[in-house]
Amino acid sequence: MRILIVEDDAVLGDGLSVGLRLSGFSPELVDSCADARHAIGMEGFEAVVLDLMLPDGSGLELLRELRQRGSDMPVLMLTARDGLDDRVTGLDAGADDYLGKPFELPELSARLRALTRRAQGRAENLLHWNGLALDTAKMSGQRGAEEIAFSRREFTVLAALMERPGSILSKAALEERLYGWQEDVESNTVEVHVHHLRAKLGSGFIQTVRGAGYRLAPEGAA
Amino acid sequence: MRILIVEDDAVLGDGLSVGLRLSGFSPELVDSCADARHAIGMEGFEAVVLDLMLPDGSGLELLRELRQRGSDMPVLMLTARDGLDDRVTGLDAGADDYLGKPFELPELSARLRALTRRAQGRAENLLHWNGLALDTAKMSGQRGAEEIAFSRREFTVLAALMERPGSILSKAALEERLYGWQEDVESNTVEVHVHHLRAKLGSGFIQTVRGAGYRLAPEGAA
DNA sequence: ACCACCATGCGCATCCTGATCGTCGAGGAC
DNA sequence: GTCCTCGACGATCAGGATGCGCATGGTGGT
């Protein structure tokens, strides 16, 4: 689960990175508004941990900007311990949650998990491709009248592919999606899951690009 | 939509005001029973968010008074995290809904919206699925002529599932609903409650999705 | 008495693992 | 250019470990 951390204090930032990675997230650390804007533009993050005091501007500005662009990405604000005003303005600006410093890592990760869970509920949950509708809330797909069930790993792989239809995802990328931070598992699990998916979706649905990875077949193909 | 907030904690009250305004309400904040009485007399509010502990009396008193005067204004109670008795007495006294602290703003506004909708359309607080009608005010269900009673925890789990019929809710999500995310309680309470629910509703009513969570069985199934 | 929580053992779906087989494509010989 | 060979990569399959979810009973609190 990719998390963007926007924090200019190097020590705290590193601590957060390490801690969250240990808790099963895949954090990315930036230390300025500019970098944050850039990173958010790249997409792929499921939540943002946002410090208010940044060298090149206030985190609040960034937040407002984000919301004005219509993003509903979950944002957790880090505020000074007694910055009550900050909290109110933060919520006002569209933060989903806040945490006063100093804080405990377990609490942060718990809240992050809660945030991402909640975000899932409100997001539009349907991905479409080539006649298949994938419902991420139900972890199942539908093609015509036929309902197709997936196991968790199968679903994870398929969802990753359908989020970027047509683009090639390397096996390493898919592995990271399956296992997150952890070391690369030495085996061919991805291939096996793709195999199972093809059994359910038809052998043409997922194409393999030799030496590069997998992608969804162009629409119109079987 | 004008909402009256009765809350004596300044920080929480402010947060509520801001948050609800964000969500499109027009909240008014008072911090005592006396002010609340006065404000309600002015009419014009569509719902009340009522804290139980107030400096000049219990919110329960206020609630009872209100109902005795024949008002059917929607009231959402805020209760302490483990104030289970409070909830029961609160519902008895005529509250339409309750929310344990700490709570999430999005949930509060969602519930408020539901409350006002309900009051408007006189729609009942009933959730339907597969022949079961769940009355969220009475904490009980009905299937055909048979009335089914649930314990609080059972009800909470069931209501969560029925609010998103067909969606998969992870155990973590259900735990959050039960305990309001603090520490993840290391135990299998959710499983046990599901077990009890299945005993009352039939083993097919709630499906388990291995590695993911639980969901209601598709309609038409047992 | 009821309800909620915790602990334990078991059964089984799921996923991993590793071996084997199939396939693709580059390069060389003719 | 055509064919062949070979190496690398991917597909497939089956056995087996893992860990999840279920059932059940016990304990404590209300």
Does A113 contact chain B (CB < 8 Å)? yes
DSSP-assigned letter for residue A7: -
Which residues does strand C reach (CB under 7 angstroms)? A 151-154, 178-179, 185-189, 192-193, 210; B 149, 151-154, 178-179, 185-189, 192-193, 210-211
> Does residue B120 surpass a pLDDT of 50?
yes
A110 in contact with chain B, both atoms CB, cutoff 8 A: yes
Distance CA A200, CA A215 (A): 16
**DSSP state letters, B135-198:** ETTTTEEEETTEEEE--HHHHHHHHHHHHSTT--B-HHHHHHHHH-SSSPP-S-HHHHHHHHHH
pLDDT digits (tens, 9 = 90+) for A33-77: 999 999 888 777 889 999 988 888 888 889 988 888 888 888 998
- CA–CA dist B92, B167 (Å, integer): 31
CA of B159 to C1' of C13 (A): 28
- For the domain covering A2-122, report its CATH number: 3.40.50.2300
Higher pLDDT, B106 or A93: A93
Amino acid at B82: D
What is the per-residue DSSP string for B69-111?
TT----EEEEE-TT-HHHHHHHHHHT-SEEEESS--HHHHHHH
**Selection from B115, B108, B167 nearest residue B136 by Cα:** B115
Q: What is the pLDDT of residue B122?
A: 43
CB atoms within 10 A of CB A91: 22
Which DSSP letter does residue A55 get? T
Task: Name the residue facing B22 among A87, A92, A114 (closest C-beta).
Answer: A92
Cα pseudo-dihedral B9, B15, B17, B19, rounded to 10: -150
Residue type, A103: F
Cα distances (Å, whole numbers) of residue B221 to A141, B131, B157, B206, B207: 18, 10, 20, 10, 11
What's the pLDDT tens digit per position in B47-94? 899 888 787 878 888 888 888 776 778 888 887 645 455 555 666 666
Rounded average pLDDT over A103-132: 82
A215 touches strand D (CB under 7 A): no
Every domain of chain B and the residues it spans: 2-121, 126-216
Residues from chain B that touch A23, judged by Cβ atoms under 8 A, are none
Is the domain A126-216 a CATH 3.40.50.1360 member?
no
Contacts of B113 (CB under 8 A, 6+ apart): none
B176 neighbourhood in chain A, CB within 8 Å: 114, 117
pLDDT band at B124 (very low <50, low <70, confident <90, very high): low
Amino acid, res. A188 = N
Residue whose C-alpha is closest to residue A206's, from A176, A171, A175: A171
Asked if residues A47 and A76 have their Cβ atoms less than 8 Å apart, the reply is yes
CATH number of B2-121: 3.40.50.2300
> CA nearest B112: which of B142, B144, B74, B81?
B74
| pLDDT score, position B123 | 46
Between CA B189 and C1' D29 the distance (Å) reads 16
Out of B164, B181, B211, the one facing A114 most closely (by C-beta) is: B181
Mean pLDDT for chain B?
A: 80
Which CA distances in Å does A73 have to A4, A9, A164, B84? 11, 23, 18, 34
Summarize the confidence of residues A8-20 as an average pLDDT. Answer: 91
